[in-house]
Amino acid sequence: MPGAPSGLIGKLSANRPVLATTVLALAALMLCVLGVRHSSIAGAGDIVGRFLIGGIVLICAPLALAGFAPQKRFIGALFLTVMLAVGVMLTVDAVGMVSIAPLPLPRVVVLGGVCFFFYLAVLSPLIRNALRLGVIAPLAALIGVAGGAGYLGFQGSLETPFNASILAIAFSAGVTVGLGVGADFAVNFARGAPSKSAAAAAGHAALAPSVFSAIAAAIFAGIVSFHANFGIAEAQVVFSAIAVTLCAAVTALVSTTAALALFIPTEQTAVDENRRRQAFSENWRPLRRLLPSTTALAACAIIGVVIVLAFFEVGAPAFASTVVFLALILAAAGIAYVSIRTSLLIVALLFVSGLFAHYLYAIVGLTLPALADRLAAMALAAIAFSQLTISWRNAGDLWRNARDITQNAMSDGLRRFLISVGASASAFLASSYAFEWETGVETAGYFAVSVLIGLLIAPVMMVALSSQTQKY
């Protein structure tokens, strides 16, 4: 892919890697220290410290361990056995069957990190290359979030559950963007681009998801503040959400691009990427046969009927706020990705998954999280779904058959989506631990249900929409 655009940020990060990374990291750390020291909140340092520790245990460590887990059969099996034993011990201790020695962290945090590791280990054939190439991304995103937390400390409102959601969104966005750079680097290098050009192009491609993530966080902040202030949205709150999210996303983008520009890949990197795509193609073939265009259109019609039934059965919670949120996400995706089809698909997935999740909660008898928590989950779901839809848009440039477009979109976007989902749920847990956010775990559960529903219907919608038009 020698002709891939690299852009200003991609070129700057690739050509001045040490300078760009050092400046951003030092700026974020200084902002964190100054914000905590000058915060009017007495426990600001404790909150930031707990979030950093939770982020390392819940996200950074599992991603690094999964990416660099031993590949030799015996050593790899031994490593997984040890991790499984730790997980079983923590689980039986959590349910009260046995009692183990006290841990320096809450057991739910350690258990969450172990569960995230096994989630990644199961997906390893699909995501290992992206994890290895983007190994620096989670730590860079965490440094960026620390800077964002310092900025919130200056505002004097760091301890609120609202800011817990903002930091979770920012952290997940940074991890998603950074690991997306690693995934794009593998694709570009496998297509023949030199390593520095591949890194610059990957960094440039990650700019649109960074902008979309910041706008999604701003939309969440604006609607929540509108409700909290009885019809008045605070501009300062919206700006804070944008600043914190961009701080995390840009730090991860620049740092990962810079690291890959310094990295000297071997042909094995391209071989691993080509093997991954071939394996995905073989495993996707049965589903491809089940999804001709006519079947996909019929399935979409059935989904539409179920939507109507679910809507009349249980309604839509906070309907006006949800409609406003979806309308703003539609505009944000159109601006960030310059694609009407992409924005429509994101909003369709958000609406259908949210309504079906509401219906499922009603059937099971569970109580939905509060509106602010649901909107936070929807913001992260929008970021996760965008990883699928942008790959779908790009695949439409190269392929014309609807099933070819969907297969290539899922081959490229599914790994990004799955990483984003795991990181988002873990980020909610990290915020729950740091801020003592009582509904953080419930919000993570609601998010997981919503994105799982969206994942099931995404291929159907992709085939149906691809069969209708190829125009943006």
pLDDT digits (tens, 9 = 90+) for 420-452: 999 999 999 999 999 988 888 999 999 999 999
The answer to whether 256 and 181 have CB atoms below 8 angstroms apart is yes
> How far, in Å, CA of 383 to CA of 394, rounded?
17
pLDDT on residue 316: 59
- Encode 139-171: b = buried (16+ Cβ within 10 Å), e = exposed: bbbbbbbbbbbbbbbbbebbbebbbbbbbbbbb
Using a 10 angstrom Cβ sphere, with 0-12 exposed, 13-18 middle and 19 or more buried, the burial of residue 24 is buried
For residue 35, how far is the Cα from the chain centroid? Answer: 26
Give the pair of three-digit tokens for residue 162. Answer: 């609202």
pLDDT on residue 1: 45
pLDDT on residue 93: 64
pLDDT on residue 114: 87
The answer to whether 94 and 110 have CB atoms below 8 angstroms apart is no
pTM: 0.92
The owner of tokens 């249980």 is 314
pLDDT on residue 288: 86
pLDDT on residue 53: 93
pLDDT on residue 403: 87
Sequence spans of domains, the chain: 7-468
Q: Which residues contact 325 (CB under 8 A, 6 or more apart)?
A: 219, 220, 223, 375, 378
Question: For the chain, what is the largest distance between any 2 Cα atoms, rounded to a whole number of angstroms?
Answer: 62
> How far, in Å, CA of 438 to CA of 169, rounded?
17
Using a 10 angstrom Cβ sphere, with 0-12 exposed, 13-18 middle and 19 or more buried, the burial of residue 388 is buried
Give the pair of three-digit tokens for residue 248. Answer: 């995390």
10-residue stretch averages of pLDDT, the chain, 472 residues long? 71 92 94 88 87 94 89 75 75 60 72 90 91 95 95 82 93 97 94 91 94 96 86 84 96 96 90 91 88 85 81 68 90 88 92 91 90 94 95 80 88 95 96 90 95 95 80 42
> How far, in Å, CA of 46 to CA of 277, rounded?
45
pLDDT on residue 86: 74
pLDDT on residue 420: 96
The answer to whether 350 and 390 have CB atoms below 8 angstroms apart is no
pLDDT on residue 92: 67
- Quick: pLDDT tens for 127-182: 999 999 999 999 999 999 999 999 998 887 787 888 999 999 999 999 999 999 99
Q: Which residues contact 378 (CB under 8 A, 6 or more apart)?
A: 220, 322, 325, 350, 354, 450
DSSP assignment letter at 356: H
